[in-house]
Amino acid sequence: MHVDARQLPENTLIEGDICIVGTGPAGLSIALQWDKTPYKVILLEGGGLDYDDQVQDFYAGQSTGQKYYPLKSTRLHYFGGTSNHWSGYCSPYDPLDFEKRDWIPHSGWPINRSDLDPYYARAQSIVDLGPCEYDVAWWQKKDPELRSLLPGNPSVWNKVWQFSPPTRLGKKYGPQIMASKNIHLYTYANLVDITANEPVTAIRSVTVTNLAGKKHTVKAKRFVLACSTIQNARILLSCNTQAKNGLGNDHDLVGRFFMEHLQIKSAWLFLPKPDPLKLYMIDPGVTKMRCELAITPEMQRKARILSGTASLLPYGIAEHAMASIQTWNSDDPRKSLSNFRSSNAASRQKASSTSLKASNRFMLSTRIEQAPNPSSRITLNPTEKDALGMHRSILHWELTPFEKRSVRTMYELIGQEVGRAGVARLQLMEHLQDPSDYSWPEFTSGGWHHMGTTRMSDDPHTGVVDANCKLHGVDNLYIAGASCFVTAAAPNPTLTIIALSLRLSDHLKKQLASV
């Protein structure tokens, strides 16, 4: 069932068993698990069924620190959320990513990779991926041309990615949601306030509103905030009437530890003869899987570095490629996407067909986690509000020398291993050549992957949510999405967002069944 909240009478009271706020991959993947159950699900979406620039403007904000994309265009504010723009790159996090790594301050999740394994398997089909196979040998058996550059290497391994078409979750699951008898989708229902009992141990209701000036109240037994990393923090910080520092923020953690994936061209790989290196190539829209070069857990431990991967791009394309920070430059996400896509298409077109078939020179590009950093954070702009009266966000994205050292070390290791194997030589790009240079070049980009502002921990002094994604100190408020991530790992986050959301959904079902 679908209702446009602008059409409801003012001050409508909406009631259900569970209220999910946000319809991106996090919110929708939870909602779908509740279809055809006896529970009444209230699904709130701040935007409409399609793009609406007035609603999108609620995302506008300021950024300081490391140069970033315009905040307004990095997330989408309508049904399906940012899955309407994502590229579909998927790979699970590795067991080491969840561990406490003594060389990375603030690392260590309260859950293990094995806690997510069954949910990764279920997440695959939600975004139309292939079998849950992330072992390169499985794919190589199917296609012997997927030859490894460094077979059996102790320091460098092949990490598998799979590609979603990419699934636009709103388009794909919209009909099912609309037809559902027990899921009640309300569009143009922007959450602007949360009301708790006194002394703020349980949520009573949330307030939603829209530009038509209609305000409504939603009551439920359990609430799930799935508005993405920046908005989840912004909402909690804004709810500061009953909780002075914001909801769940007794220990000044909400909004802190904002993480992105650093994406940056880093090195050149030279082979003595042209080689297709098919295992590492991607033909957008066609390729189902590919690998990136990753550093083994043992070597990450030994070298005390962050987790990152290197992707390969033939020189023929790379010489024309522009960094995404240079092309994703408009406040309007549609324009940014179009600039970004046309720049990528142009670099492919300019490359000669022979250089695409096989090349003896490849560009290596990094995607790497940043170390969790409390100073990298979301705060509220005290002076600027959006049209609904919510304080706008300020992002301070901060990197440290640790990231630079890790990127450099990663390529020194890959350089060493290709030399040892006698298959190639590697040249670091200029920005990595001086080991005492910790600056970042202007083409340093993020992956549009926002993580970490409501991090997970068993201890309320070190985390905003517990291992079940429940806000510490509040009985019935849960957070879904990458804001709960403790560390960022190397892979794009959405597969893990969905897996974690499915796990949360199962937990909530058990909770409600026991009420």
Partner 1 sequence: MGAITMTTGCGHRTDSRTAALETPDFLSHICDAPTLRLLGAAYRAQTPSEASQETLIRLLRPRVTAQTIKADYANGDIITLKGWVLSRTEARQCALFSLDSN
Ligand X SMILES: Cc1cc2nc3c(=O)[nH]c(=O)nc-3n(C[C@H](O)[C@H](O)[C@H](O)COP(=O)(O)OP(=O)(O)OC[C@H]3O[C@@H](n4cnc5c(N)ncnc54)[C@H](O)[C@@H]3O)c2cc1C
Q: Is 494 in the site for ligand X (CB under 6 A)?
A: yes
Q: Is 227 in the site for ligand X (CB under 6 A)?
A: yes
Chosen from partner 1, ligand X, none, partner binding at 419 (C-beta under 5 to 8 Å by type): partner 1
Cα(388)–Cα(227) distance, integer angstroms: 16
Q: Give the SS3 label for residue 212.
A: coil
Compose the 164-203 pattern: x for residues touching ligand X by CB under 6 A, - for all others. Answer: --------------------------xx------------
Q: For tokens 């007035």, name the residue.
A: 54
Q: Which stretch binds ligand X (CB under 6 A): 72-80, 135-143, 144-152, 253-261?
A: 72-80
Chosen from partner 1, ligand X, none, partner binding at 467 (C-beta under 5 to 8 Å by type): none
Angle between helices 25-33 and 494-513 (to 10 degrees): 40
Q: For tokens 């006698």, name the residue.
A: 422
Q: Give the SS3 label for residue 395.
A: strand
How crowded is residue 349: how many other Cβ atoms within 10 Å of its Cβ?
A: 10
Contacts (CB under 6 A) with ligand X, residues 419-458: 448-449
Q: Is 228 in the site for ligand X (CB under 6 A)?
A: yes
Cα(131)–Cα(138) distance, integer angstroms: 10
- Closer to ligand X at the Cβ: 89 or 109? 89
- Closer to partner 1 at the Cβ: 10 or 430? 430
- Closer to ligand X at the Cβ: 89 or 268? 89
Q: Give the SS3 label for residue 351.
A: coil
For the chain, counts of helices (H) and of strands (E): 14, 21
- What's the Cα-to-Cα distance from 403 to each of 146, 367, 408, 436, 439, rounded to whole Å? 31, 11, 9, 13, 10
CB of 126 to ligand X, least distance (A): 12
Q: Give the SS3 label for residue 343.
A: helix
Q: Which residues pair with 359 in a beta bridge?
A: 275
Sheet holding 61-65, edge to edge: 61-65, 391-397, 377-385
Cα(405)–Cα(224) distance, integer angstroms: 38
CB of 442 to ligand X, least distance (A): 20
Interacting residues toward partner 1 by CB under 8 A = 267, 270-273, 360-361, 411-412, 415-417, 419-422, 425-430, 432-433
Q: Is 25 in the site for ligand X (CB under 6 A)?
A: yes
Compose the 76-105 pattern: x for residues touching ligand X by CB under 6 A, - for all others. Answer: -xx--xxx-xxxxxx---------------
Chosen from partner 1, ligand X, none, partner binding at 260 (C-beta under 5 to 8 Å by type): none
Residues 6+ apart with CB under 8 A from 300: 96, 101, 306, 307
**Dmax of the chain from CA atoms?**
73
- Closer to ligand X at the Cβ: 373 or 483? 483
Compose the 26-65 pattern: x for residues touching ligand X by CB under 6 A, - for all others. Answer: xx----------------xxxx------------------
CB of 426 to partner 1, least distance (A): 5
**Rg of the chain over all Cα atoms, to the nearest angstrom:** 23
Q: Is 243 in the site for ligand X (CB under 6 A)?
A: no
Chosen from partner 1, ligand X, none, partner binding at 308 (C-beta under 5 to 8 Å by type): none
Which residue sits closest to ligand X, CB atoms considered? Answer: 24
What stretches of 433-493 show up as alpha helix (H) in DSSP? Answer: none
Chosen from ligand X, partner 1, none, partner binding at 231 (C-beta under 5 to 8 Å by type): ligand X
Q: Is 162 in the site for ligand X (CB under 6 A)?
A: no
With CA atoms as reference, report the closest residue to 477 among 279, 200, 70, 73: 200
In the chain, the amino acid numbered 329 is N
CB of 425 to partner 1, least distance (A): 6
- What's the Cα-to-Cα distance from 8 to each of 61, 181, 235, rounded to whole Å? 30, 19, 23
Which one of residues 444, 493, 500, 504 is an interface residue with ligand X (CB under 6 A)?
Answer: 493
Cα(215)–Cα(189) distance, integer angstroms: 9
CB 261 within 8 A of CB 61: no
Pull the structure tokens for residue 476: 């019935």
Chosen from ligand X, partner 1, none, partner binding at 360 (C-beta under 5 to 8 Å by type): partner 1
CB of 450 to ligand X, least distance (A): 7
Applying CB under 6 A, the site for ligand X has a residue count of 39
Q: Is 255 in the site for ligand X (CB under 6 A)?
A: no
- Closer to partner 1 at the Cβ: 36 or 273? 273
Q: Is 492 in the site for ligand X (CB under 6 A)?
A: yes
Pull the structure tokens for residue 348: 């492919």
Which one of residues 5, 8, 21, 49 is an interface residue with ligand X (CB under 6 A)?
Answer: 21
Chosen from partner 1, ligand X, none, partner binding at 46 (C-beta under 5 to 8 Å by type): ligand X
Q: Is 380 in the site for ligand X (CB under 6 A)?
A: no
Chosen from ligand X, partner 1, none, partner binding at 416 (C-beta under 5 to 8 Å by type): partner 1
Chosen from ligand X, partner 1, none, partner binding at 85 (C-beta under 5 to 8 Å by type): ligand X
Q: Is 226 in the site for ligand X (CB under 6 A)?
A: yes
CB 159 within 8 A of CB 312: no
Chosen from partner 1, ligand X, none, partner binding at 432 (C-beta under 5 to 8 Å by type): partner 1
- Closer to partner 1 at the Cβ: 294 or 495? 294
What is the helix (H) or strand (E) element at residue 340, kind and residue range?
helix 333-350
Cα(162)–Cα(122) distance, integer angstroms: 14
Sheet holding 203-209, edge to edge: 13-15, 215-219, 203-209, 190-196
In the chain, the amino acid numbered 192 is V
**Binding region for ligand X (CB under 6 A):** 21-27, 44-47, 74-75, 77-78, 81-83, 85-90, 190-191, 226-228, 231, 235, 448-449, 481-482, 492-494, 497
